[in-house]
Structure 1
């Protein structure tokens, strides 16, 4: 309702009259239909088309029915607060035409070469009058997706007070009932009822953008929350997350799904954005306030398709590095970032989700569009094994939405005081955290005391807007370093390390005995992106726990943490399932091997290295090496710095004086013993099977033979 009221205040009201002075032309794959209208004009108008002149709407084909919010630039009027804003569109000669106040616009994407007359009629009326509301002549248009491609069009340039330049673009969607019947250069992005719907996005540019010498820059997609707008996500906004691009550009999208619906209070309203950054059913009637999806409906990923088409268009027309494309979203936008990353893991390098719920629709308006969580309607997405993905699986943290095995680097921040009605903390989220940590995606999970909104900043990960008052990991600029075509270590099993905090079972609130108020699983873990090795027979990475940063609470409180690791998104290191591999962990300062073992890829080819000690960088950075000995050759076994007696041993072994804790690993890396040593210097190993073991203590590493 807020969007409608805002638009009405911005538009000066004149006496209602018919649409007149209709004219049109073809440019860049689309026909641009313009007419003179009263302001604010009828709620909707019908756009009709026929190859010959016509005098009644029933004689022609209906090709569109835009809201006045759409045929006038409602999104821009609301976000610029400029009552004189009008659309800017291409002309056949390559120049641009700036619409005049009171001129309406509809855009048709052509699917064939031909010519037609176009008429604009108030909805509910049928008369078409020559010289009034129909084009004087037929408009010729050409179908050539190669030389006359559909494009986005610049609408506004604004320099923010921070100095960042922003570029406001618009595109107009192709809507058809067959979601697969698009153009080679332009897919179907809406159902037929939303054909021609406009969509806006804002590109923010780094203050020091460097494209010299053909240098390509990273790009980050930003998704606002429910009821939010794209301009809230520009470069100098939302400083709690620091959305400023440093190397490249950001792209703040607008949901832009204009529909009539009903609120939870039962009020009939108009809303301009409630596709949950995903889509809607092809049966959706945006003009019926009472419309609701039904069992049997499929939710098509129209919005997601639009985002990725814009992504590809920007890569085509700007010097953007296609391998450094990240996604970030807040609240409702966190769902958009989650699904995008899971659907296009080959295109998305990293994804950050803030105040996520990892669930589908809970509010009345969204349920009418997407269905309820209980309905879990099918979507157009297919999972890793070709299965149909339901809405709940699409929004979840752990269900893959493509045929790709691995996901991008995923980072999550959520607050235990978040009781928002849509995206919020709860048992389902806590359970998804535990599942993600067990599956070895490498998801970096963070929680603290934050509620859903950020009026006051006093949370563990965000205590202020300055760099020394908040974590660097949620900065847009941090995501710019990651690549979709680079492998990464998926650290996991953090919940099994007793030194880590635990989020609890999902009870809302803090200091209630349900887990720790704040913590992270994997958030202290770092790796060197520049020295990774990914070859057919060998994979290596340098890793550490954070210690040297300007925000104190980003520093790992523990000198070492036990974790397991998967190799995600390998590019060349792809050993066959069952191949015997060797792994080593070395101290990079002296190349000493401190852990070693063997592993084999699972049936999916996933390589897992269990139980690695990752240490703080100011103590020791480690080099994790995994290799196929049949291709690379053997490496030395770990050197001993701790000696046990007797060795070989029976049921008991004596520990060196000063031992505080000891962990015993099998040669395959399985943790067999994890024990704190207090007032005794002997360890009972009777339960260990006969064989050889690696040991690690606070004093160093060693070997053990059990008789």
Structure 2
């Protein structure tokens, strides 16, 4: 962001109008579903209007030149032609190109005319309000007077607090070449897969198929109120099955506040001082996570999703978000599948410069951002049922270290969580391939939040992970290197298991197990997870037996977990493991 723009963003006093006066015209206001949409005609079109920025004012009285100075803008630094459709508003070249569409703000209405400005204010209190729009040049000088009926409303808009509602502007039965394949049928209680996209710094409006929605964010979802967003919902067939599921795809990329570029959020958020904040120092806000929580909940209700069968997946940057966002929400996700994640996030998107050595805190002003984004530590600190985690990564990923993958395996194993990991000797591109092994043995449809399953650990047929990267110095610089003789070049953890016939009762838990990769007798630790009825108390003793003659007792740990170690499984044979409370 340019320095001049930052100066304008923090300015409160309204400056006198510049000598060469321009005009904001044709102001119109629409209120629906808890938000007020203010539309106007910019002071200039095309290249001539590219450098102007706009502020939105709101008052209980009509806004005039006489009282403007005592008001604070509710939204600042709105770009030229800000009524452009999401994805086409990010780069100046597209924003001033009239061949790209503008936004639609009302049901069954046309999109906005070219060179429209758009500001969206989320209502926090019922009442009658007036609005005005003020234009500034690149130096922060005001260039247009308040003209009632042109740049300021003459009549108040009646505002009411209400849940915001996305606006559907495209139907899955009509959109794109895949319409017949992915159209939403209206079936109820389908699973939902939330897909987080990889890096998308080039902008664009999103998928060309599925039900298409536009919506504008609440203040707590961004550095300012009313940021534009979109998402799509379509319906797909489960691979190699007659089953169906819904797919939700949204975008995390926003227009850079400077007006010509994008800002990716890593599916987290970013470091900034929001326009609405009371504090003056930057903080790390999980804006994207907050917005996704609302969006998933809205889609679940709108499309009658089975709330017990919600999953998440993503590749590359989408894997980062799947690991750092979805994993921390067991109340929502049954299973998640990050493809090449960072399990310890080291990057922080930012709208402002971060001084070297700064202590970066979250929005509460206390929590350390980097500690919060260390998912290895999160797993170690959380012993409750987390979403099943199935992931993959190449040993030479480049964006994520193999060491952090190893540490995640260790933490999940120690916590007796449900997980599987597969790897190859690939880079960030080719490291995606092992995900097919994860979904072969642990497909999403195998998991539901209200169904118990066996979590595996310390399988005797696990691949050799090695110890990860080591520091190598050539005398001038030190590099982190992963040698080919340090662990297997490809392999997996907890692969090959198949289970059925779960019994989950108050006094008994049992499962029928086999492993299709076992070449000889093998062993594995088994922990009942996500139990609905079988809930031993801390210190309670449970007996166990399996069909190959093994038996013994196990005591529930302080989290109420019971783990039977070294359960025997023979090749091509099933074993039934049964646990009973004494």
Q: TM-score range by the shorter chain?
A: 0.7 to 0.9
Trace 1:95-114 onto structure 2 (pairs within 5 A): 95-114=108-127
TM-score between both structures, scaled by the size of structure 1:
0.64
Q: CA deviation at 1:403?
A: 7.4
Q: CA deviation at 1:442?
A: 2.1
Matching residue of 1:172:
216
Trace 1:139-538 onto structure 2 (pairs within 5 A): 139-143=157-161, 145=162, 149-157=163-171, 158-161=175-178, 163-165=181-183, 166-175=210-219, 188-190=220-222, 193-206=223-236, 247-260=244-257, 270-281=260-271, 283-284=273-274, 298-362=283-347, 366=349, 377-379=360-362, 390-400=369-379, 405-419=384-398, 423-454=399-430, 461=434, 470-471=436-437, 473=439, 478-494=443-459, 497=460, 499-507=461-469, 512-528=484-500, 531-538=501-508
Q: CA deviation at 1:504?
A: 1.7
Cα gap change, 1:46 to 1:404, in 2 (>3 Å): farther
Q: CA deviation at 1:381?
A: 8.9
Trace 1:562-577 onto structure 2 (pairs within 5 A): 562-577=523-538
CA deviation map 1:606-659 (0-9, x unaligned): 12111112445xx11222221113xxxxxxxxxxxxxxxxxxxxxxxxxxxxxx
SS in 1 for 2:114: coil
Trace 1:541-560 onto structure 2 (pairs within 5 A): 541-545=511-515, 547=516, 556=517, 558-560=519-521
Cα gap change, 1:78 to 1:107, in 2 (>3 Å): closer
Q: CA deviation at 1:559?
A: 4.1
Q: CA deviation at 1:374?
A: 7.5
Contact 2:383 2:415 survives alignment (8 Å): no
SS in 1 for 2:118: strand
Residues in 1 aligned to 2:58 and 2:328: alpha-carbon distance in whole angstroms: 37
Cα gap change, 1:518 to 1:18, in 2 (>3 Å): farther
Matching residue of 1:28:
33
SS in 2 for 1:75: coil
Contact 1:121 1:127 survives alignment (8 Å): yes
Cα gap change, 1:513 to 1:82, in 2 (>3 Å): farther
Q: CA deviation at 1:309?
A: 0.5
Q: CA deviation at 1:74?
A: 4.1
Residues in 2 aligned to 1:39 and 1:303: alpha-carbon distance in whole angstroms: 32
Contact 1:361 1:371 survives alignment (8 Å): no
Residues in 1 aligned to 2:134 and 2:70: alpha-carbon distance in whole angstroms: 13
Cα gap change, 1:557 to 1:542, in 2 (>3 Å): closer
CA deviation map 1:567-586 (0-9, x unaligned): 22222211111111011223
SS in 2 for 1:607: coil
Residues in 2 aligned to 1:321 and 1:493: alpha-carbon distance in whole angstroms: 33
Residues in 2 aligned to 1:260 and 1:391: alpha-carbon distance in whole angstroms: 25
SS in 1 for 2:318: helix
Aligned length: 504
**Structure having the higher Rg:** 1
Contact 2:309 2:448 survives alignment (8 Å): yes
Cα gap change, 1:54 to 1:285, in 2 (>3 Å): closer
Q: CA deviation at 1:89?
A: 2.0
Contact 1:584 1:595 survives alignment (8 Å): yes
Cα gap change, 1:503 to 1:160, in 2 (>3 Å): farther
| 2:72 pairs with one of 46, 56, 61 | 61
Q: CA deviation at 1:17?
A: 6.3
Cα gap change, 1:380 to 1:351, in 2 (>3 Å): farther
Structure with more relative contact order (C-alpha pairs < 8 Å, separation 6 or more) = 2
Matching residue of 2:540:
579
Residues in 1 aligned to 2:345 and 2:98: alpha-carbon distance in whole angstroms: 35
Residues in 1 aligned to 2:380 and 2:267: alpha-carbon distance in whole angstroms: 15
Residues in 1 aligned to 2:273 and 2:155: alpha-carbon distance in whole angstroms: 34
CA deviation map 1:12-44 (0-9, x unaligned): xxxx96432110021111111112233475464
Q: CA deviation at 1:78?
A: 7.8
Contact 1:373 1:392 survives alignment (8 Å): no
CA deviation map 1:181-240 (0-9, x unaligned): xxxxxxx323xx4211112222222269xxxxxxxxxxxxxxxxxxxxxxxxxxxxxxxx
| 1:116 pairs with one of 129, 136, 143 | 129
Contact 1:258 1:273 survives alignment (8 Å): yes
| 2:557 pairs with one of 567, 583, 602 | 602
Residues in 2 aligned to 1:417 and 1:46: alpha-carbon distance in whole angstroms: 48
1:45 aligns with 2:54: yes
TM-score between both structures, scaled by the size of structure 2:
0.77
SS in 2 for 1:485: coil
Cα gap change, 1:559 to 1:98, in 2 (>3 Å): farther
Residues in 1 aligned to 2:407 and 2:356: alpha-carbon distance in whole angstroms: 16
Q: CA deviation at 1:480?
A: 3.8
Matching residue of 1:181:
none
Q: CA deviation at 1:369?
A: 6.7
Contact 1:415 1:425 survives alignment (8 Å): no
SS in 2 for 1:105: strand
Gaps in structure 1 of 5+ consecutive residues: 2-15, 176-187, 209-241, 262-268, 287-292, 463-469, 548-555, 587-592, 630-707
Q: CA deviation at 1:376?
A: 6.8
SS in 1 for 2:301: helix
SS in 2 for 1:582: strand
CA deviation map 1:42-67 (0-9, x unaligned): 46421111122223443433122334
Matching residue of 1:10:
none
CA deviation map 1:498-556 (0-9, x unaligned): x422122223888721111111111322323xx322221111222222x3xxxxxxxx2
Residues in 2 aligned to 1:104 and 1:243: alpha-carbon distance in whole angstroms: 48
Q: CA deviation at 1:351?
A: 0.5
Q: CA deviation at 1:450?
A: 2.6
Contact 1:280 1:301 survives alignment (8 Å): yes
Contact 2:383 2:559 survives alignment (8 Å): no
